[in-house]
Amino acid sequence: MAMTGVLRPGHAQIRVMDMDEAIHHYRDVLGLIEAGTDKQGRVYLRAWDERDHHSLILRKADRAGIDFFAFKVANAETLKKLDSDLRAYGVKTEKIPAGELLETGERIRFEIASGHQIELYAEKAKIFAPHQLLNPEAWSPQQDKGIAPLRLDHCLLYGPDIEKVQKLFEEVLGFFLVEHIEIEPGNDLAIWLSTSTKAHDIAFVRHPEPGKLHHISFLLDSWEKVLRAADIMSVSRVSIDIGPTRHGVTRGTTIYAFDPSGNRFETFSGGNYGYPDWEPIKWTMDEVGAAVFYHDRKLNEAFLSVVS
């Protein structure tokens, strides 16, 4: 098989401080579809073009941030093998039983060197409606409800020891490095990793505090939809960090903004794609500004300092 092992980002569980505000933000402004609420009160959402039950889980807590980020793997056999590979590599894994998340099978959870909880799972209920699989229409009003991203695309996490994280993702999970910002040879400020032909399925920035979230990212169709996202954010008084603009890294167009709890999210479009036989693109510190914000060619103050 050409697409094997770890397939794609599956879900992120993030912490929000006011659930009503969070639901308003993610459902009404961002335009995600509410998929359910579990006994713990966690709220599940997905984007309109996703086919699995949910991709975002909101948990009420007293501080913002990310609980865990999960990847869908090809099948149960793959999950078992990756669990075994992780243990053989020296990673302690934990089994979360099926059903702990709504409509989701058993998950393998493990902590990586940057201090983040990562999960793998093989099963989640498909929710793609029959009419979407049989003679589907190319447009529906759902595509215009709120900002209306197509999918959860990736996340950018901040923490220490990202060279160890990269090694694990490459050697055990089958990811490859697409782009990186080099402080000096062998010492990266940031790494973008892919398990597919996407420009990134997950990314990391070196940061002293472990387990921090820079942003979760949602994919839009076009640069015009990025403009519409910015307009809807302004109408909705969502706090925009920066954008619309373009990243040098991945060449994607982007807006960074904050949810009501202070979690940064991104709405982005376009950008590069990658293949494992390609040499990674390298950025050096003298061009770190252009790497992150291509038009301004300088970092804004928040980029390196504001995380949740």
Q: How far apart are CA 61 and CA 170, in angstroms?
A: 33
How many C-beta atoms lie closer than 10 Å to residue 270's C-beta? 18
Residue 208 per-residue DSSP state: S
**Rule CB under 8 A: is residue 2 a binding residue for a second copy?**
yes
The residue within the footprint of a second copy, chosen from 62, 90, 137, 208 (CB under 8 A), is: 137
Question: In the range 169-198, which residues lie near a second copy by CB under 8 A?
Answer: 173-176, 194-198
**Residues designated as active site:** 154, 200, 215, 247, 256, 266
Question: In the range 66-105, which residues lie near a second copy by CB under 8 A?
Answer: 72, 74-75
Question: In the range 221-260, which residues lie near a second copy by CB under 8 A?
Answer: 221-224, 227-228, 230-235, 237, 240, 243-246, 248, 251, 253
| Count of residues that bind a second copy according to CB under 8 A | 72
Q: How far apart are CA 295 and CA 75, in angstroms?
A: 42
Helix (H) or strand (E) run with residue 111 in it = strand 107-111
- State the nearest-atom distance from the C-beta of 286 to a second copy, in Å: 8
Q: Which is nearer to a second copy, 20 or 224 (CB)?
A: 224
- State the nearest-atom distance from the C-beta of 174 to a second copy, in Å: 4
**Rule CB under 8 A: is residue 294 a binding residue for a second copy?**
yes
- Output the CA torsion 201→205→209→212 (10° steps): -30
Q: Which is nearer to a second copy, 64 or 229 (CB)?
A: 229
Q: How far apart are CA 260 and CA 25, in angstroms?
A: 7
Q: What are phi and psi of 139, to 5 degrees?
A: -140, 140
Q: Which is nearer to a second copy, 21 or 296 (CB)?
A: 296
Q: How far apart are CA 99 and CA 96, in angstroms?
A: 9
